Amino acid sequence: MTICFDTNAILDGVLQRTPYQQAATGLIHAVERGDLTGQLCATTVTTVYYFVQKRYDGPAARTDVRDLLQLFDVAPVHRAPLERAAESDFQDYEDAVLHSAARTAGADGIVTRNTADFSAASLSVHTPTELLTILDHRRE
């Protein structure tokens, strides 16, 4: 199963944002174990760098980005996903871009804390806690 991680799901783990950190970190570990294939939208990578650099420093941000790029596939953002996002029924363009890039890159679903923002999605959408439960049931 290939899941595209919304930016908030990654930032919750990387920045240790409570009360969301545990579920986000659990999913990152699931990617490390190979329980699922993790995917990041290309725009997520630059956003993670920005927020980590702002909280800590540039070297920490580069380390986090390198670690994420070793672990996750990247859903590229180019003209076609941007155009599809602009024509979509999504209220938020950034969410539309993530969804469009994930579809183009072959993701099966999206994990996000803000499932309501993805009501127009054609992919399955899960909260981190929901996805952890699904993974637990698959291992049984």
Q: What residue ranges do the domains of the chain occupy?
A: 2-139
Q: What is the pLDDT of residues 78-132, one digit of tens each?
A: 999 999 999 999 999 999 999 999 999 999 999 999 999 999 999 999 999 999 9
Q: Compute the distance between CA of residue 140 and CA of residue 49 in angstroms, rounded to an integer.
A: 36
Q: Work out the average pLDDT over 21-45.
A: 97
CATH topology of domain 2-139: Rossmann fold (3.40.50)
pLDDT at res. 112: 98
Residues of the chain with pLDDT > 70: what percent?
100
What is the per-residue DSSP string for 56-122? S-HHHHHHHHHHHHHHSEEE---HHHHHHHHHSS-SSHHHHHHHHHHHHTT-SEEE-S-GGGGTT-S
